[in-house]
Amino acid sequence: MKVLVTVKRVIDYNVKIRVKPDGSDVDLTNVKMAINPFCEIAVEEAVRLKEQGIASEIVVVSVGPSNAQEQLRTALALGADRAILVEADAQTESLNVAKLLAKVVEQEQPSLVIMGKQAIDSDNNQTGQMLAALCDMPQATFASKVNVADNTVTVTREIDGGLQTLAMKLPAVVTTDLRLNEPRFAKLPNIMKAKRKPLETLSPESLGVTLATHTRLVSVAPPAQRSAGVKVASVTELVDKLKNEAKVI
């Protein structure tokens, strides 16, 4: 069974971001970039399916700028077999990313698509669901457990209030939650081997997709700053302040 995994190049999750002084966007110049953490979990899950003998081939796809090749190489070093980069602007709207991915799905015909539940930059949490809709596939979002057997994927999902388990006919889309697995680290020999694995570059034109712009980013501002308050010396003082000063208990 062929598994398609998507990865996004995003700012490293440890970086404290800065908003550009002109308020046009977040400043990404000279900032450490990495694979989106949820996408890393998606790659790991695919690799585990291959190790269990369920997946036969893992194709990793990114829609992004040319240097997203770095993140694709990382995914190859983690165990993906080949990579596809659809070259597009880093800020491509998620509907457009989903449309480009839908074309790749049409070409590759995977049985399972595994994606991160959200990218930690735009925090949209949309692309997987949109791709599933465009390809008329069922979806299981926020997966914390995935089990493939007999042309069916059974997924436990993290929902408000607990867990929910769904069974879907393949092909299907699964988006990962943090607790699905613990991604491995790429070993040096695998990083070297990954350099020789195939990486194909496509463009929206070559996929026959014309992208419309649906939104305009008007401005980006830093959030209202909270200032540090006071340190209290004892529990008595704390309880007193909450009762009489803040009046919240």
Cβ atoms 200, 83 nearer than 8 A: yes
Beta carbon nearer to other proteins, 66 or 225: 225
**In whole angstroms, what is the distance from residue 143 CA to residue 141 CA?**
6
Residue 139 CB, shortest distance to other proteins, in Å, is 6
Residue 90 CB, shortest distance to other proteins, in Å, is 13
Cβ atoms 48, 69 nearer than 8 A: no
Cβ atoms 153, 188 nearer than 8 A: no
Residue 10 CB, shortest distance to other proteins, in Å, is 9
Residue 181 CB, shortest distance to other proteins, in Å, is 12
Beta carbon nearer to other proteins, 192 or 242: 242
Cβ atoms 85, 206 nearer than 8 A: no
Beta carbon nearer to other proteins, 73 or 157: 157
Tokens describing residue 136: 């008329």
Beta carbon nearer to other proteins, 130 or 146: 130
**In whole angstroms, what is the distance from residue 135 CA to residue 132 CA?**
5
Tokens describing residue 56: 């036969």
